[in-house]
Amino acid sequence: MRIGYFDCFSGASGDMILAACLDAGLALDTLRADLAGLGLEGYQLEAQKVRKQGFAATRFEVQLAATEQPHRHLKDIRRIIESARLAPEVQERSLAVFTRLAEAEAAVHGTTVEKVHFHEVGAIDAIVDIVGACLALRRMGIDQVFCSPIPTGSGTVQCDHGLMPVPAPATAALLKGIPLAACDETGELTTPTGAAILTTLAAGFGPPPAMSLEKIGVGAGRRDGQRRPNILRLLIGSSAVDAAITDEEDEIIVLESNLDDMTAEVIGYVYDRLFAEGALDVFTSPIYMKKNRPAVQLTVLAPMNLREALETVILSETTTFGVRGYPARRRKLVREFETVQTDFGPIRIKVGRQGGRVVTAAAEFDDCRQAAERTGRPLRELMEQALCCWRENSR
């Protein structure tokens, strides 16, 4: 598996991400040809080698024609991307980045996603940055993206809405649940576009994952740092997991708290709240605490970017005074659903594969429960019959 790790030593922006890809070996002419599929006019792409406080890097720039850019809505961006000559994977990732950006802007301005005016990020240069980043990662064969904790900078930044604190409101919204790095540099180090790309595409945030390092790309930003060079590093390498193996691997956060003075009913309510916030799994284990008090340990498994939201639920809804948290690597079977037609209606079967080989399969509980309630047949019988039908169809 080929891995790309963004080392946000001095923040990140859309142009810095693309500059790092170009510095790592992506040809500018290839990027130009791929972006031509958008069908947009009025811009040119330029890249040059520069030095940032003694470090060699590549600077990337979108040069715009002297025409005013329209304020686009999400539907306008979607129409441009969906009608473009782009690979389905690139379209999907680009739309995911813009949707996440629209959600952040809507939350900041108290409006709906479809009513958001993208302002700067709806301009051609932002479209090029976002779609170009998705194109570049695909062109370079990067299967999975990871990222360091992100520094935001400090002070103020001038936006379309006026003078704003750093991080800008949209950037702050995008970085909720993402580990931030302390930084004494003034100015805007991480832009909304850079934050949207990294938080959408990265599978995890933290130190570099285990890999055999092959290439290093250094992208230069537009500003000059006072205490550190304004650069973004891209480390590219191969992990021990062969890309031909289709097992999924990711990084999750594990949250734990000890509870010795809560009723089972309240803990059950906490379960529901945590699942509603996006937890992958929630469970309790019996333990004994100080003075031999019987208690339970609450454990939550979740995506890294939901850490803050889930910790807030635990601290506000339980009697605990603290939450432990640590990252964990997770290797999963590739999961997909197949529907079988049975005498009591369609039932989904969850199938788990490893290396393309079926390892396990199970009838979806909710489908079987609804069929049992509808037909009056025993639930266990329906689950067994659904799995038998799937096995017959799979031969």
Give the per-residue pLDDT at 201. 94
Mean pLDDT confidence for 77-86: 90
Mean pLDDT confidence for 115-141: 82
Give the per-residue pLDDT at 48. 94
Mean pLDDT confidence for 286-309: 92
Give the per-residue pLDDT at 240. 58
Give the per-residue pLDDT at 246. 42
Predicted confidence (pLDDT) at residue 66 exceeds the cutoff of 70: no
Give the per-residue pLDDT at 336. 84
Mean pLDDT confidence for 262-268: 94
CA distances, 329 to each of 1, 240, 257, 291 (Å): 15, 14, 20, 34
Mean pLDDT confidence for 279-306: 93
Whole-number average pLDDT of the chain: 88
Give the per-residue pLDDT at 160. 67
Confidence of residue 244 (pLDDT cuts 50, 70, 90): very low
Three-state SS annotation for the chain = CEEEEEECECECCHHHHHHHHHHCCCCHHHHHHHHHHHCCCCEEEEEEEEEECCEEEEEEEEEECCCCCCCCCHHHHHHHHHCCCCCHHHHHHHHHHHHHHHHHHHHHHCCCHHHCCCHHHHCHHHHHHHHHHHHHHHHCCCCEEEECCECCEECEEEECCEEEECCCHHHHHHCCCCCECCCCCCEECCCHHHHHHHHHHEEEECCCCCCEEEEEEEEECCCCCCCCCCEEEEEEEECCCCCCCCCEEEEEEEEEEEECCCCHHHHHHHHHHHHHCCCCEEEEEEEECHHHCEEEEEEEEEEHHHHHHHHHHHHHHCCCCCCEEEEEEEEECEEEEEEEEECCEEEEEEEEEECCEEEEEEECHHHHHHHHHHHCCCHHHHHHHHHHHHHHHHC
Percentage of the chain modeled with pLDDT above 90:
54
Mean pLDDT confidence for 383-391: 91
Confidence of residue 245 (pLDDT cuts 50, 70, 90): very low
For residue range 217-231, list pLDDT tens digits in order.
Answer: 999 998 887 788 999
Selected residue with higher pLDDT from 235 and 338: 235
Confidence of residue 163 (pLDDT cuts 50, 70, 90): confident
CATH code of the region 248-332: 3.30.70.1380
CATH code of the region 334-394: 3.10.20.300
61, β-bridge pairs: 46
Predicted confidence (pLDDT) at residue 69 exceeds the cutoff of 80: no
Confidence of residue 56 (pLDDT cuts 50, 70, 90): very high
Mean pLDDT confidence for 297-304: 94
Predicted confidence (pLDDT) at residue 320 exceeds the cutoff of 80: yes
Mean pLDDT confidence for 81-94: 91
Predicted confidence (pLDDT) at residue 143 exceeds the cutoff of 60: yes
Distance CA 164, CA 167 (A): 8
Give the per-residue pLDDT at 115. 72
Predicted confidence (pLDDT) at residue 121 exceeds the cutoff of 60: no
Mean pLDDT confidence for 26-50: 92
Give the per-residue pLDDT at 191. 93
Confidence of residue 30 (pLDDT cuts 50, 70, 90): very high
Give the per-residue pLDDT at 68. 67
Give the per-residue pLDDT at 194. 95
Domain boundaries, the chain: 2-238, 248-332, 334-394
Confidence of residue 105 (pLDDT cuts 50, 70, 90): confident
Predicted confidence (pLDDT) at residue 302 exceeds the cutoff of 70: yes
Give the per-residue pLDDT at 265. 94
Give the per-residue pLDDT at 242. 46
